[in-house]
């Protein structure tokens, strides 16, 4: 037989095999998507995903667990799938996807025994994203223009220099034209719950960080809607009958002060962290120095603060 003819026949045969395999794969995929997810099938797919996860075959595990995270036949497996997906995404530094999984858990399983853990992981992931160069729906990639300054950019986008520096890992205020910066456009607001001694940092109704705080003794912290009017590092403390300097052992404002539109009241740090979580202040909202430093970096002047009993 002609050698060229043999080669041609073999080539056609190989091509035919690939075509058949391709059609078969396509049929299987389409059939799979039409397949009704019964309880048994959900369990099988979930166990397969967990086995792949144990082998650190993350990409295949994601595909299996995504299927079981979207079904409603077995809600326990759905919740566990979301937790495992979030864990995989964190391992892969895919923080946006991890946050979506934790958010889905808090929305779909508000009465779950694991809701506190999910909420904490959601907050931790949200803060990592906020302080990273990752661009999400609440931020933009901004190109520095001639004569731009960090303070000017912060004012234009209603954010802070501190947050610009943190999220872009800047060691100084120096920026150059052409440089790209992550700029947060989130509209933050604060809720203080006196009954729990907790401060909630929110963005669009979503809690992104919960802080334990101290509030006023004898119900002295005012209730209502206020705004942050001034932000100062270690200001002089004007107490009744005295002016206390930051280097004084009697100074009680800690590292930062954020004055509220309720005159004489504010959110500040402390030199005595053991008082946090108690109703013990003269009416102000007291935080640990670490927490007030973080919050001070995030929220700009004008941020709304709601204080509730």
- Tell me whether residue 33 is one of the annotated catalytic residues: no
- Tell me whether residue 284 is one of the annotated catalytic residues: yes
Active-site annotation holder among 33, 101, 274, 284: 284
DSSP the chain: --HHHHHHHHHHHHHHHHHHHHHHHHHHHHHHHHS---HHHHHHHHHHHHHHHHTT-HHHHHHHHHHHHS-SS-HHHHHHHHHHHHHHHHHTT-HHHHHHHHHHHHHH-TT-TTHHHHHHHHHHHHHHHHTSS---TTEEEEE--TT--HHHHHHHTT--HHHHHHHTT-SSS---TT-EEEEE---EEEEEETTTTEEEEEETTEEEEEEE-BEEGGG-S--EEEEEEEEEES--EEETTEEE-TTSTT--S-SEEEEESSTT-EEE--S-GGGTTSEEESSSEE--HHHHHHHHHHPPTT-EEEEE-
Active-site annotation holder among 33, 101, 268, 274: 268
Catalytic amino acids?
A: 268, 284
């Amino acid at each position: 037989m002609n050698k060229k003819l043999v080669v041609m026949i073999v080539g056609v045969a190989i091509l035919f095999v690939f075509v058949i395999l391709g059609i078969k794969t396509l049929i299987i995929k389409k059939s799979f998507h039409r397949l009704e997810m019964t309880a048994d099938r959900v369990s099988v797919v979930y166990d397969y995903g967990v086995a792949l996860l144990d082998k650190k075959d993350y990409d295949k595990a994601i595909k299996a667990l995504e299927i079981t995270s979207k079904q409603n036949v077995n809600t326990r497996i759905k919740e566990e799938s979301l937790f495992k997906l979030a864990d995989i995404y964190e391992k892969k530094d895919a923080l946006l996807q991890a946050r979506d999984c934790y958010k889905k858990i808090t929305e779909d399983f508000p009465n779950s025994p694991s809701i506190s853990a999910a909420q904490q992981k959601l907050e931790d992931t949200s803060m990592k994203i906020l302080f990273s160069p990752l661009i999400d729906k609440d931020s933009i990639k901004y190109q520095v223009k001639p004569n731009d300054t960090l303070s000017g950019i912060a004012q234009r986008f209603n954010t802070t220099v501190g947050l610009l520096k943190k999220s872009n890992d800047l060691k100084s205020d120096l920026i150059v034209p052409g440089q790209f910066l992550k700029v947060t456009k989130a509209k933050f607001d604060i809720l203080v719950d006196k009954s729990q001694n907790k401060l909630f940092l929110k963005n669009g109704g979503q809690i992104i960080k919960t802080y334990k705080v101290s509030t006023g003794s004898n119900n002295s912290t005012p209730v209502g809607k206020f705004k942050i009017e001034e932000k100062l590092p270690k200001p002089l403390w004007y107490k009744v009958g005295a002016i206390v300097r930051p280097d004084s052992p009697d100074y009680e404002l800690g590292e930062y002060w954020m004055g509220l539109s309720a005159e004489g009241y504010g959110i500040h740090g402390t030199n005595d962290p053991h008082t946090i979580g108690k109703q013990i202040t003269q009416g102000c909202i007291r935080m640990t120095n670490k927490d007030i430093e973080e919050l001070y970096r995030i929220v700009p002047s004008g941020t709304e603060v709601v204080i509730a009993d």
